Structure 1
Amino acid sequence: MRSAVEREYRTLSPLDVRIQTHRRYSEAAHDVEADVIAAAAVTSGDRLLDVGPGTGTFLARLAADHTAPLTALDFSAESAAACAALPGVRALRGDAHHLPFAAGSFDVVTARHMLYHLDDPVPAVAEAGRVLRPGGRFAAVVNRRAPYPRMTALLNDVLTRHDVVSPPSPDERVHGGNLPGIVAEGLGLGPDSDRITILRRDDALVFPDAAPVVAYLVSILTLHGVPDDSPLRAPVTAALDAAVRAAFRTLPGGVWRDPKGYVIVTASP
């Protein structure tokens, strides 16, 4: 799985497609970054580590009025470079399972939409707990169980027709249903601990035409075993385009609606 993830994040362009898709086509006005900030009770004086910062938008939002150090850590060179360009942000390349920081270095550690990319997320959560000060806060966010069922079914059908053996979807590995248990185990807390809080947001992607659906599906092809340099990339992309456009001709009102959502688990080890 690590190989597919490494290929995916050699460039941040596919991730940015997904971010912009959620911003433009979400049915509800949920703000996942604001929800994480509120759930973790982040203040401007908190020493914060963001593990898996992606394009850096979360840290850019915090940096505007943050007085304490902000730190980003990602295995992706592109992500680390994007975050290093942000004022007031220290960015490093590294492994979430082996954080290069002393115990108690941070007040807050966030892991946003990244635990599902790890072969074993529990040790990574334990590492986050190690680098938190006593009473610090850990916040993780992942997708709900089985998001985007319509897009997922269409993608799986196209991949099957092209004999692509897709690795397990990240959302099948870690999702809103099992995240609380993963966090509890990693931080050494009981599953019913009152030091764990859960926020669930239900939503949907609503598309008025085929183009953004196709763009989103193409943005995740590398994660599903069809990287940019694969000879199957062009035929799979063409098949996705045709399948999505055919699906739109049968949709009531010509609108594509796909349920989604996210779950934020916050804990204090």
Structure 2
Amino acid sequence: MAESEQGYLRDVQYRFPDRLKARSILHTRYGRGDWFEWLAANIPLPTGGLIADVGCGAGSFWTNAPQSVPSDLKLRLFDISEGMVGAARTSIAAMQRWHDVEASVSDAVALPMASASVDTTIAVHMLYHLADPASGLKEMARVTREAGAVAVVLNPANTMIELSELARAPFGGERDPRSEPLSSEQGLALMQGEFTKVDVVRYDDELRVTDPVDLLGYLNSLPIADKPGVMEKLAIAVEEAFRRTEGGFTITKASELLIGHK
């Protein structure tokens, strides 16, 4: 990813949590409903452990964490967006559940942490935003202690393909000229080059969206909608899609949790 694209993500797309919230609606209203419970059950979160959350966003993992997650964790939250860091800091403090929390604006390839100081480093749907994902993994491995773990969440290739095709509809189905985001298959290959062992846990889901407003809200939060005239075309595409499917738009999705052990 070019520096200009990273700047767009930092200063526009993820400057504040609004767009992420618009996208989360599809998953929370129409998905399995156990995403955060599933993450918490599969990511190593040792009692009293020091946890680094790289690309923490608005801190949604922690504000939605089930009671099974230890309350004595020491949280170190990092994001490239000042708005996201501020939102995470405020929302987690309001919970009064964790009492050792530090949130800072940081680049994922230059974390302000000592080497081998972290029990578990997590990066949920973040690695594909980096210009050099391999460097990001190397940095996460650096700060993680020898017996610790690095937990990365990525999507398999072609997940939510129905939504991608709908987003291309205003352009006659023309593909986005930008390169495809890093898939979990590609991420696994990178992690196998960095860690001695990598475990893979898959999360499958299906979204049957029944409200076109929610679907349009998701599409309008994407970078493609920033282009002049695109929002109107997306609205037409959504209307036509619901007409064809008689009131329900189905999206198949999956995510994979890749857990690297040093």
* Coarse TM-score class (shorter-chain normalised): 0.7 to 0.9
Moved more, 204-213 or 44-53: 204-213
Amino acid at match of 2:204: D
Aligned-residue offset at 1:63:
9.9
- Offset of residue 20 of structure 1: 2.4
| Counterparts in 2 of 1:63 and 1:247: CA distance versus 1, 3 Å | closer
Aligned to 2:110: 98
Aligned residues: 248
TM-score normalized by the length of structure 1: 0.85
Following the alignment from structure 1 to structure 2, what is the Cα–Cα distance between the partners of residues 54 and 13? 11
Whether contact under 8 Å (1:145, 1:175) holds in the other structure is: yes
Are 1:25 and 2:30 matched, yes or no? yes
Q: CA deviation at 1:144?
A: 2.1
Residue identity matched to 2:85? A
1:135 is matched with which residue? 147
Give the corresponding residue for 1:262.
Answer: 255
The equivalent of 1:41 in structure 2 is: 44
Pairs within 5 Å for 1:71-220: 71-85=76-90, 86-87=92-93, 88=99, 89-159=101-171, 166-168=177-179, 172-185=180-193, 187-189=194-196, 195-220=197-222
Letter in 2 for 1:267: G
Show the counterpart of 2:96: none
- Secondary structure, counterpart of 2:185 in structure 1: coil
Does the 8 Å contact 2:25/2:214 carry over to 1?
A: no
Alpha-carbon shift at residue 94 of structure 1 (Å): 0.6
Unaligned stretches of 5+ residues in structure 1 = 190-194
CA distance in 1, matches of 2:14, 2:183: 20
How far 1:176 sits from its partner (Å)?
2.2
Identity %: 26
Distance 1:257 1:56 in 2: 28
1:70 counterpart residue number? 75
The equivalent of 2:63 in structure 1 is 60
The residue that corresponds to 1:192 in the other structure is none
Q: Give structure 2 stretches of 5+ with no counterpart.
A: 94-98
Contact kept in structure 1, 2:17 and 2:87, CA below 8 Å: no
What is the rounded CA distance, in whole Å, between the counterparts of 2:25 and 2:171 in structure 1?
25
Corresponding position: 1:5 with 2:9? yes
Shift of 1:30: 3.8
Aligned residue identity for 2:211: D
Partners of 1:48 and 1:92 in 2: how far apart?
A: 14
Asked if the contact 1:159/1:236 (under 8 Å) is kept, the reply is no
1:14-47 superposed Cα distances (whole Å, 9 cap, x missing partner): 0011122211111x3442x333322222133110
Contact 1:16–1:55 (CA under 8 A) maintained in structure 2: no
CA contact (8 A) 2:27 2:33 kept: no
Q: CA deviation at 1:146?
A: 1.1
> Out of 231, 243, 251, which is 1:237 matched to?
231
Output the amino acid matched with 1:215: G
Can you list the C-alpha shifts for 1:100-156, whole angstroms capped at 9, x where unaligned? 111011100000000011111111111111001111011000122112222211211
Letter of the 2:7 counterpart? S
Classify 1:44/1:62 alpha carbon distance in 2 versus 1 (closer, same or farther; 3 Å): farther
Q: Secondary structure at the match of 2:121?
A: strand
Task: Choose 33-42 or 135-144, whichever is displaced more.
Answer: 33-42
Q: Which amino acid aligns with 1:2?
A: Q
Deviation at residue 254 of structure 1 after TM alignment: 2.5
Closer, same or farther: CA 188–212 of 1 in aligned 2, 3 Å: same
**The residue matched to 1:248 in structure 2 has which SS?**
helix
8 Å contact 1:214–1:244 — kept in the other structure?
A: yes
